[in-house]
Amino acid sequence: MKIQTTYKIWVITLVSFFLSACSVFETTAAQIDLDADEALKIFTTDIDGSEIFLDQSAGYLVFPRALRAGLVAGAETGEGVLRIDGKTVDFFRISSGSLGLQAGAQARSIVICFMSENALEDFRNSSGWRVGVDGSVALIDVGAGKTIDSQNVRDPVVGFIFNSSGLMANLTLEGTRFTRISR
């Protein structure tokens, strides 16, 4: 019984530290923008066909580095930008929590394209858009050297997870919350 309590306290402490780390080490707007530029460069260089989604979208989110860690209880967080016509218009924080069979840590980049004006407007008018509640995101599994077949994608919101480092198997954004932040 004591081991279970100690374990729960350890997990809660780990997750709390992980989530608070982003607010303690807040990144400046200029740095987030530079990091987003670098993530987009990797995205368009490593994944053939990615430019089509960026060019045809009404707007897109770029999270250059989303950190995720878990040991039974897990959390993910990161800061990014919303760009419309290639220009940064807002800053956002991504956050999620999960319970279940998981162990490890991972850093990854995320790009989410809003392929219609309505999808972008719904996102911008929300006060904390949540995947699976306020809208769904069709995730496309991509890796370096892969090609995206844009002809088969007809979803209003399309997400890409790429540039992963670390070990944590879970390709989902379900339950992830996007919150506007000021920078």
Per-residue pLDDT tens digits for 74-105: 788 999 999 999 999 999 999 988 777 667 78
Instruction: Pick the closest to residue 131 from 99, 175, 66, 170 (CA basis).
Output: 175
C-alpha span between 22 and 156 (Å, rounded): 30
Q: Which range among 7-16, 118-127, 135-144, 152-161 has the greatest average pLDDT?
A: 118-127
The confidence band for 37, taking pLDDT boundaries of 50, 70 and 90, is very high
C-alpha span between 56 and 18 (Å, rounded): 36
Strands (E) across the chain are located at 59-84, 87-114, 129-130, 138-141, 157-167, 177-181
Determine the straight-line distance between the first and last CA of the chain, rounded to whole angstroms.
Answer: 46
- The answer to whether residue 115 scores a pLDDT higher than 60 is yes
Compute the average pLDDT of residues 4-25.
54
* In contact, 137 and 175? CB cutoff 8 Å: no
pTM of the entire predicted model: 0.78
Average pLDDT over all residues of the chain: 80
* In contact, 114 and 59? CB cutoff 8 Å: yes
Using DSSP, state whether 69 is helix, strand or coil: strand
CB atoms near residue 13 (< 10 Å): 10
- The answer to whether residue 139 scores a pLDDT higher than 60 is yes
* Burial annotation 52-85 (CB, 10 A radius, 16+ → b, else e): ebbeebbbbbbbbbbbbbbeebbbbbbbbbbbee
Residue 24 has what pLDDT? Answer: 42
Residue 117 has what pLDDT? Answer: 96
Using DSSP, state whether 173 is helix, strand or coil: coil
Compute the average pLDDT of residues 137-142.
71
